[in-house]
Amino acid sequence: MDFAERYGPWALVTGASEGTGREFARRIAASGLPSVLVARREAPLTALAAEIRAETGLDCVTATIDLAAADAPDELVAAVGPRDIGLLVSNAGSDPNGSLFLERDVSAWLELVQRNVMTMMACCHHLAGPMKARRRGGILLVNSGACYGGASALGPYSGSKAFMLCFAEALWAELRPHGVDVLTLVLGRTDTPEFRRLLAEKGVRPPPDLASPGEVARIGLERLPHGPIHNWGQADDAAGMSNLSATQRRERVLAIDRITGQLFGRS
């Protein structure tokens, strides 16, 4: 199957208004899929949709949703409506705080966890069932190297990304027998407007080795069939961000899946 056949008839991209989300949306449209584009800011989202329509002639629906709000999952379901989503790119999940845990009111961290964990998981649950029934589809969860361990100023963020890592591995194991691809794309430092805004706020100059959002989108979609993990800038069999390579983690997931399958009578 080609890309549109494998992941159609519609795609959903969250955090689509700028940076990697914008590049995912453009590349998906260039591959022939109409999209539902979701972000918090209306103006850049509307401009991107108009740009995609002009370039591709494809339908492009927008929804302005704050994914950190408690009702975000319900708003996402309403935005999707009756459309058959064959590809989810969950891209909204940065840390706009860049601070130590006790330097912020707890409400900031609860919003981060709502966006990065609760809304993301609810969206996957809503969309994965129809994908499983069709026996095709894809779920791409954009992650961060912070998923492999915590540090100062990374507490809730690294915790939410560690959840995404383990969740993606489990979802991949569950859906792979049904033809649905799952990948968590683990990024390093990436040249996004959000990251540059945070650096400017802290008075820090951008480092020279930032990943390109366009390359992130290209590699992410290329690696989607080869889940559950791709570590940015590393070969599948090379360890670097963690002490295990993507290949070793894949083998570990399959080994544990066999054990749990036998335990719960799924083997």
Among candidate residues 84, 68, 112, the one with its CA nearest the CA of residue 8 = 84
Closest alpha carbon to 184 in 123, 242, 237, 229:
229
Question: Of 7, 148, 157, 202, which residue is the catalytic one?
Answer: 157
**Starting at the edge strand that comes first in sequence, how are the strands of the sheet with 35-39 ordered?**
60-64, 35-39, 10-14, 85-90, 137-144, 180-187, 229-231
Annotation says 132 is catalytic: no
Alpha-carbon distance 202 to 145, whole Å? 21
| Cα–Cα distance measured from residue 51 to residue 57, given in angstroms and rounded to the nearest whole number | 10
- Strand 180-187 and strand 229-231: the pairing is parallel
Angle at 14 between CA 68 and CA 175, to 5 degrees: 105
| Residue 37 near residue 90, CB atoms below 8 Å | no
Of the residues 7, 132, 148, 161, which is catalytic? 161
> Is 161 one of the annotated active-site residues of the chain?
yes
Q: Which residues contact 264 (CB under 8 A, 6 or more apart)?
A: none
Q: Which residues are catalytic?
A: 157, 161
